[in-house]
Amino acid sequence: MRSLEAKLKTSFIVSAVALSFIGLAFVHSAGSYWGAVHYADSSPFIVKQAIYMAVSIGIALVIMKSPLTSSPKTWTFVYWMTILLLVAVLIPGVGAMRNGSQSWIALGPFSIQPAEFVKVALIGKLACSLDKIQGKGIFQFSHFGLILLPAALIMLQPDLGSAVIMIVSAFVILFIAGYPLKFFAFLGFAGIGAFVALIAAAPYRLDRIKSYIDPWSDPLGKGFQGIQSLFAIAPGGLVGHGYGNSRQKYLYLPEPQNDFIFSIIAEESGFIGATLVLLLFTVLLASTFGIAIRTKGRYAFLMVAGMGSMIIFQTFLNVGVVSGLLPVTGVTLPFISYGGSSLMTTWIAAGTIMHFTVGRKTS
């Protein structure tokens, strides 16, 4: 039994680190030409990503070792701090506008995206709240307040992708905590209504759905990204064009080092490389839930399962978008896509999972 626990921990760490190094390599390859054109330098993304990675893993190690990670007070504080940041990002002069969304706070040459951090903060806060509640008393309106407050603030930016990941991850933790199935049936119908309302509030979302169904109806507009992503994936074949030899990164696929980096991986390393990345995510998923099942206490189980669900759902959403299975939504690939906030959030989740490994006492 002890050897199995050690294997789960090792598998989780190795897969997470391997994915980050793969990300580092392909951020350099995918972003080299974009950097040369827009910044007169082919290496700005790899330099920043290396810094982000070192800082993120360092933070994860602190979270893994710190007793504060087990404290409900810590997660309450972190949750409300991220709420304040979500409010701050909407203030003119504080929040920075990029690609039509006011989602960043600029800090010199770097920036932070509060919507990323609130995802892990919400999971931690919900786990604390759900820890002592079971049976008929588990249904609490306060849980929906905790979810809807950051969701509303994120949609004001607007950032549909982050809101979807946060909400789905939150409802996953409610499900594994024991919320009744009839609640989720009701939620499905309510979700349809909310979906229609979101489209009515911003008609461009309907255009995205239309371009998803038939991207060739607007190949130079709404369907452009999806088509160019498929143009990267399809010619990759079995082994790809070779590292650094992507064609789509030459300004055909906008900012390929970000949301569409998996397309570049498939183009340069082919089916074999793309499958390896997906296998590493599968190992990460299996080891995460192996750790969750063997944790001691309900609180630890909810934490580990919730953090793992967030990472895996975001992976599914990103790969689904770049492969044309889902409508285009701005979502990064965990551990791999360029971006400090995204990478740091993923490693915060990973550090929290490692904190609650088998045998650790929880408060």
How much is the pLDDT for 134?
67
Which position has the higher pLDDT, 249 or 361?
249
Which structural domain range is residue 324 located in? 2-355
Q: How far apart are CA 348 and CA 342, in angstroms?
A: 10
Q: How confident is the model at residue 135 (pLDDT cuts 50, 70, 90)?
A: low
pLDDT at 62: 96
Percent above pLDDT 90 for the chain: 56
> How many Å apart are CA 217 and CA 344, to the nearest integer?
38
Rounded to an integer, the average pLDDT of 271-300 is: 94
Rounded distance between C-alpha atoms, residue 283 and residue 289, angstroms: 10
In a domain, 361, yes or no: no
Given a contact cutoff of 8 angstroms between Cβ atoms, the answer to whether 310 and 42 are in contact is: no
pLDDT of 64 reads: 95
Q: Average pLDDT, stretch 286-296?
A: 91
For position 13, what pLDDT does the model report?
95
125 occurs within a structural domain: yes
In a domain, 363, yes or no: no
Supply the pTM of this predicted model. Answer: 0.91
Tens digits of residue pLDDT in 140-184:
778 889 999 999 999 999 888 899 999 999 999 999 888 888 887
Residue range 99-128: mean pLDDT, rounded: 89
pLDDT at 209 over 80: no
Residue 362 counted as domain residue: no
Whole-angstrom distance, CA of residue 53 vs CA of residue 218: 38
On the question of pLDDT at 363 being above 60, the answer is: no
Residue 97 covered by a domain: yes
Beta bridge partners of 106: 111
Taking residues 22-39, report their average pLDDT.
88
Q: What percent of the chain has pLDDT over 70?
A: 92
Distance in angstroms (rounded) separating the CA atoms of residues 311 and 308: 5
* pLDDT higher at 201 or 110: 110
Q: What residues are paired with 97 via a beta bridge?
A: 102
Give the strand order in the sheet containing 110-112. Answer: 95-98, 101-107, 110-112
6: in domain: yes
Using left for φ > 0, alpha for ψ between -120 and 50, and beta otherwise, residue 286 falls in alpha
Number of domains in the chain: 1
**Low-confidence winner among 69-78, 84-93, 127-136 (lowest mean pLDDT):** 127-136
For residue 201, name the pLDDT band (cuts at 50, 70, 90): low
Position 361 pLDDT exceeds 50: no
